[in-house]
Chains A and B, each alone.
Chain A
Amino acid sequence: MRTMNLVLHVWRQPAANKQGHFERYEVPDVSDHQSLLEMLDLLNERLVVQGKEPIAFDSDCREGICGTCGFVINGRPHGPQKATTTCQLHMRHFKDGDELTLEPWRAKAFPVIKDLVVDRSAFDRVIQAGGYISVRAGSAPEANNLPVPKERADLAMDAAACIGCGACVASCPNASAMLFTSAKVGHLNLLPQGEPEASDRVRNMVVQMEAESFGHCTNHLECEAACPKQISVEFIARMNRGFLGAAFRGRGPMLSRVGGK
């Protein structure tokens, strides 16, 4: 085991409507077995002892699946390691003397709540607009009545692996949510169970996404590189095709639901 001394530059912002700034912290004696969040826990414990307000950051499962954690580390959402959430990033990827800059997801649709904590409820509203299959509990047919080709089910699973962390938005120069939205559209529209609502789903989710002030996709593909679950941008292309088709087949005014409910 080796230990290291680090310097952090952390975005501190007391509340959404207050000014923020970078604060410098020296963090000595960090073990390379620690996770990055455990390093922040350690710093926070030291701050508490000094009577200083600890750094607010979100995390929960700390095993890379709940999607709660995430901030930008040296300019990269979730940090330097590919396919890894912030909570799974370990200090062995850093070395003594390193300086780390930690800042929250930057996107108009994700306002800062405090320090590194942002409000990602826009994602929930995109799902509420159509990211589901309407099936009342108790009304489902026998599961094996509808076989799904394995390749199709596997592809749907690739898309369904999205953890909703927001790194795709944070990495995009336009703060677009296309990868997030297309992953859910891809997951559900690939399956026969999702077919009856497929057109409404893609239209309503895209319209809601735009209403949430996410930017447009201009094919930078940063999102795929930042995605801790390696969701493919192929789902964006798939969604674009589905959206065009749905626009032609459209039922009722597309914008009617925005701002409602």
Chain B
Amino acid sequence: MTLNSNAPTGPIETRWSRHRFDLKLVNPSNRRKYTVVVVGSGLAGGAAAATLGELGYNVLCFCYQDSPRRAHSIAAQGGINAAKNYQNDGDSVYRLFYDTVKGGDFRARESNVHRLAELSVNIIDQCTAQGVPFAREYSGLLANRSFGGAQVARTFYARGQTGQQLLLGAYQSLCAQIDAGTVKMFPRTEMLDLIVVDEVARGIVVRDMVTGQISSHLADAVVLATGGYGNAFFLSTNAKGCNTTATWRAHRKGAKFANPCFTQIHPTCIPVSGDYQSKLTLMSESLRNDGRVWVPKDASDCSKDAVRIPEVERDYYLERLYPSFGNLVPRDIASRRAKDMCDQGKGVGPEVNGQRRGVYLDFSSAVERLGEPVVAERYGNLFEMYERITGENPYKVPMRIYPAVHYTMGGLWVDYNLMSTIKGLFVAGEANFSDHGANRLGASALMQGLADGYFVVPTTVADYLAKTGKNPIKDEHPEVKKTVKDVNERVTRLVSIKGERSPDSFHRELGQLMWDDCGMARTKAGLEHALRRIPALREEFHSNLKVVGDSDSMNQQLEKAGRVADFMELAELMCIDALHREESCGGHFRQEHQTEEGEAKRDDANFSYVAAWGFTGDASKPALEKEPLDFEYVHPTQRSYK
């Protein structure tokens, strides 16, 4: 099979509108006859389920949380981009498109990115109408800020809780549809497999996390909006429950996984404080607007109190290396430079496993320039959060930050319609690979989730349903029964291994391995090491796992075990992809491929493609297929933020 992106051609400004006209429609009176399963209730899933419900489809929406309002989109702090150009500072749809393609280091599909930029303006209208309390100016009009390396102020925000407010907007729309009876919600329900009949997605198999009951739900189309796989690293900024099971199970059923090695490390997180750490906390990137990043020039100063190190002894390394962008360089660069400093022995903070992993983010000059009240208004809640976790007051001593896994640009391969390589299986939001290339710009994840959920999926799913028509199957269909049986067996196997080690202990070991060998800087030797270790660890997992309790009631250990089992396979694919991609681009940095200044060195002649991996039955031997990338509008250049 060759990958067909179904991306329209012709002038880029009109591709989406022409494409939309070419798509088939479902008559309003026929829509309720079609059932659409939506897995995940975050920005992409919640918005898609609500919108499909508004259109009149019969929607079944599933989430593992106790309420759809808790999906991890809620934790996004900084903001959402939109090309409104309210600031009259030269922004436009085309500029947002250009910045996103460039920021993604030329590994995204131009057609998709342009559509995203176009839809960004509709998203702001939609969310404002829903009552999302975006920040406003004294005129009553919407406020903006510049964010994450953008040279225009196009980011809309609701204090430091933009994700929360956008998610609640989507959740409330979803609630309206649940009340109207178009959407049936299944909270505390986890998808454990995809039902595929004759190469078409026909439903899912789920486990009720309260009763343990396993059941099938059939549909005319399935939408996965289950987020990213950053928890493969155990420690990340993702919520504890975030997992790859839905996407990985779909992959095993035939959906290709694209660019799994494209993971984003966020530069501003609170450093690890000890080996009991269960997750990492992000401090919004907006802090870099006013905070200055530095380390001591002299490694022997690293154990001193920061305030006792005089100005001349501080190395503001981002300002020194990148005079025009300074502290606002893109995430991948800021992260890697922090790692470099710590690897040179200039890290600060407590030693964990023999190294100080932290750099300072200092607000003293901002406090001097703007006064404490202004700094408090901008960042007060973030400073409180920091103090709550570390016990240190950022108004008095500089924050300590270190990069952490935050977002995964890779995901299930989708065409322009967001359909995977399994017919009838759509993938939206972070779960797909489509819009961010090798690196996502700040404030673009919320934009993509909502663009997919409110505007793209409802349109393209209709086209699929109209073309496919009704062809119902029953729960008694052999393939449905077989999938339910497989899931039952898998669950039973996990509780009956009765070994010695907990799911978390395996997960921590896998995560450490991934962080060391497939983290911020990767080498051939490191990746080969990981590829030797992972299958062995996976084997141990399946022979020495200990799950206490049974499978027919709430069992959080069992839930974890199932997720870790899938991470064990995905992690190997991430390393295989990272090893095969003999170049550096965006979040994927191979030590062997860098410029003399230590910047990522792309190889457009050989790697200007999407790597889509197919499952072959053996997790160690995936089959690679390539979707070539053409850049008609934004011509690949070496990114320069000097």
Q: Do residues A133 and B138 form an inter-chain contact, with CB atoms below 8 A?
A: no
CA distance A37 to B389 in the complex (A): 13
Partner of A54, one of B50, B276, B548: B548
Within 8 Å of chain B (Cβ to Cβ): is A191?
yes
Within A73-117, which residues are at the interface with B (CB < 8 Å)?
81, 83-84, 88, 90, 92, 113-114, 117
Q: Do residues A33 and B274 form an inter-chain contact, with CB atoms below 8 A?
A: yes
Quote the shortest CB–CB distance from A172 to chain B (angstroms).
20
Q: Do residues A132 and B173 form an inter-chain contact, with CB atoms below 8 A?
A: yes
- With A65-B164, A153-B133 given, is the CB distance from A119 to B47 under 8 Å? no
Q: Do residues B126 and A48 form an inter-chain contact, with CB atoms below 8 A?
A: no
Q: Do residues B70 and A60 form an inter-chain contact, with CB atoms below 8 A?
A: yes
Q: Do residues A141 and B502 form an inter-chain contact, with CB atoms below 8 A?
A: no
- With A61-B72, A137-B51 given, is the CB distance from A35 to B278 under 8 Å? yes
Interface centre among A33, A119, A137, A149 (most CB of B within 10 A): A137
Interface centre among A58, A64, A135 (most CB of B within 10 A): A135
Q: Do residues B556 and A127 form an inter-chain contact, with CB atoms below 8 A?
A: no
CA distance A133 to B54 in the complex (A): 13
Partner of B131, one of A42, A61, A81, A133: A133
Q: Do residues B54 and A136 form an inter-chain contact, with CB atoms below 8 A?
A: yes
Q: Do residues B454 and A137 form an inter-chain contact, with CB atoms below 8 A?
A: yes
Partner of B54, one of A48, A92, A137, A140: A137
CA distance A153 to B556 in the complex (A): 40
Q: Do residues B74 and A127 form an inter-chain contact, with CB atoms below 8 A?
A: no
Give the interface size bracket for A toward B.
35 or more
Quote the shortest CB–CB distance from B16 to chain A (angstroms).
14
Within 8 Å of chain B (Cβ to Cβ): is A237?
no
Quote the shortest CB–CB distance from A126 to chain B (angstroms).
9
Q: Do residues A58 and B66 form an inter-chain contact, with CB atoms below 8 A?
A: yes
Interface centre among B54, B126, B129, B159 (most CB of A within 10 A): B129
Q: Do residues A88 and B128 form an inter-chain contact, with CB atoms below 8 A?
A: no
Partner of A124, one of B69, B125, B138, B274: B69
Partner of B388, one of A90, A129, A194: A90
Q: Do residues B134 and A131 form an inter-chain contact, with CB atoms below 8 A?
A: no
- With A45-B504, A133-B131 given, is the CB distance from A61 to B74 under 8 Å? yes
Q: Mark B570-594, 1 if CB is under 8 A from A, else 0.
A: 0000000000000000000000000
**Complex contacts, A191 vs chain B, CB 8 Å:** 131, 133
**Complex contacts, B126 vs chain A, CB 8 Å:** 135, 137-138, 140
**Complex contacts, B548 vs chain A, CB 8 Å:** 47-48, 51-54
Partner of B554, one of A52, A113, A128, A147: A113
Q: Do residues A121 and B168 form an inter-chain contact, with CB atoms below 8 A?
A: no
Quote the shortest CB–CB distance from A25 to chain B (angstroms).
15
Q: Mark B73-103, 1 if CB is under 8 A from A, else 0.
A: 0110000000010100000000000000000
Quote the shortest CB–CB distance from A19 to chain B (angstroms).
15
Q: Do residues B458 and A142 form an inter-chain contact, with CB atoms below 8 A?
A: no
Q: Do residues B140 and A62 form an inter-chain contact, with CB atoms below 8 A?
A: no
**Complex contacts, B502 vs chain A, CB 8 Å:** 45, 48-49
Within 8 Å of chain A (Cβ to Cβ): is B522?
no
Quote the shortest CB–CB distance from A75 to chain B (angstroms).
21
Q: Do residues A31 and B274 form an inter-chain contact, with CB atoms below 8 A?
A: yes
Q: Do residues A164 and B274 form an inter-chain contact, with CB atoms below 8 A?
A: no
Within 8 Å of chain A (Cβ to Cβ): is B29?
no
Q: Do residues B504 and A54 form an inter-chain contact, with CB atoms below 8 A?
A: no
Q: Do residues A141 and B140 form an inter-chain contact, with CB atoms below 8 A?
A: no
Within A19-75, which residues are at the interface with B (CB < 8 Å)?
31, 33-35, 37-38, 41-42, 45, 47-49, 51-54, 56, 58-68
Q: Mark B514-548, 1 if CB is under 8 A from A, else 0.
A: 00000000000000000000000000000000101
Q: Do residues A140 and B129 form an inter-chain contact, with CB atoms below 8 A?
A: yes
**Complex contacts, A160 vs chain B, CB 8 Å:** 133, 158, 165, 168
Between A and B, 14 residue pairs with Cβ closer than 8 Å are: A54-B548, A60-B65, A60-B72, A63-B385, A65-B163, A66-B72, A137-B455, A137-B458, A140-B122, A140-B125, A147-B140, A150-B136, A188-B131, A261-B181
Interface residues of B (CB under 8 A from A): 47, 50-51, 54, 65-70, 72, 74-75, 84, 86, 122, 124-126, 128-131, 133-142, 158-159, 161, 163-165, 168, 171-173, 175-176, 178-179, 181, 185, 187, 210, 239-241, 273-274, 276-279, 281-282, 350, 384-385, 388-389, 391, 454-455, 458, 500, 502, 504-505, 546, 548-549, 553-554, 556-557
- Per CB-CB distance, the 6 closest pairs between chain A and chain B, nearest first, are A147-B140, A132-B172, A140-B129, A143-B128, A140-B125, A157-B133
